[in-house]
Amino acid sequence: MIKNIAETDISNIIAKQINRFGKVYLLIDPKINDDFFFEHNFEFESIVPIRDRQDTVSQDHECLQLCTIRKGVSYVDQVISELKSNQSAAIALITSPHNIKSIQNHISNAMFMSYKAKYYFLRFYDPYVLKHLVNILNKKQLNQLLGVIQYWYYWQNSYIELHHKPKLILSDIDYEITTNQWQKINIAQAYNAYEYQMMRQQNSPLSDSQQNTLTLILEWIYKTSFDTPEQQKMDYIVNHVMEKPEQFFRKTTYNQFYNIMKNNNIYEIKQYLQQLEQE
């Protein structure tokens, strides 16, 4: 269902998909870069907006755009390379045996997730969100997420292929999210916020060691605070630790960290971290 694709193979794979289906769809998120269509002279066969059902304010051009790339065009490789850029609005290539209207409706329906009788907006199509969801959701839930889409290609440190047997879902999607999954989704949301902040500061993606450290910090913070961390405390700990070498955080244990988080005094937390730095 989930497979890494080598950069040397991706063009051939997409070409085979276009030959098979006669077309491929490009998903554009104008919220990342609303100049995409002005910066690129791509002639799409069609473009349809995908609207958040609760959004009655945005103009069509401000919504997600589903663009049809027909067989025989010359710019496919350029589109594929666009997926790699975190500044590009191009976020996914999609294939499906179903028509564009069915894909449009499904993505719109899949944007909502319910938990304990409340509905939440789910940016599942964002590669930075999807990279977490593929590890949080089970196979049944991922099948519901993809619905009519047979292949979904995106970039997260490499090209990723999601594949399943497409199914037309006419009703709203009930993912049946568990408490444990909901906790992981909250951690993923916090992770993405800090990752975005750090990427802007250092002007580069997080290294593997940075990703591992950030993941561990947030897991410990959420666990020790019973999934309701104090934002000021969390901000200070994350920012302080992520400025240090990876081995800095390895000096502490979970039990020591638990004692830090029980302390509501930011000054004493600062003292502990400074002592840890001197060890």
Which residues are registered as beta bridge partners of 2? Answer: 162
* pLDDT, tens only, 126-148: 999 999 999 999 999 999 999 99
Those residues with Cβ within 8 angstroms of residue 256's Cβ, 6 or more apart along the chain or in another chain: none
The pLDDT value recorded for residue 270 is 77
Average pLDDT taken over every residue of the chain: 91
* pLDDT, tens only, 152-176: 999 998 999 999 999 999 888 999 9
Tokens matching residue 4: 């890494």
The pLDDT value recorded for residue 278 is 67
Amino acid letter for position 120:
Y
* pLDDT, tens only, 56-108: 888 988 999 999 999 999 999 999 999 998 889 999 999 999 999 999 999 99
Task: Please say whether the beta carbons of 93 and 32 come within 8 A.
Answer: no
Closest by CA position to 96, among listed 108, 106, 110:
106
Which of the four pLDDT bands, split at 50, 70 and 90, describes residue 11? very high
The pLDDT value recorded for residue 264 is 61
On the question of pLDDT at 245 being above 80, the answer is no
Amino acid letter for position 121:
F
7-15: long-range contacts (C-beta < 8 A, 24 or more apart)? 7/158, 7/159, 10/80, 10/153, 10/159, 11/76, 11/77, 11/80, 13/161, 14/76, 14/80, 14/93, 14/153, 15/76
Q: From CA 97, how far away is CA 103, in angstroms rounded?
A: 10
The pLDDT value recorded for residue 255 is 83
Which residues are registered as beta bridge partners of 152? Answer: 94, 162
Amino acid letter for position 88:
S
CB atoms within 10 A of CB 111: 21
Amino acid letter for position 253:
T
Q: If phi over 0 gives left and psi between -120 and 50 gives alpha, with beta otherwise, what is residue 172? A: beta
Alpha helical stretches, state H, 111-226? 127-136, 139-146, 179-202, 208-224
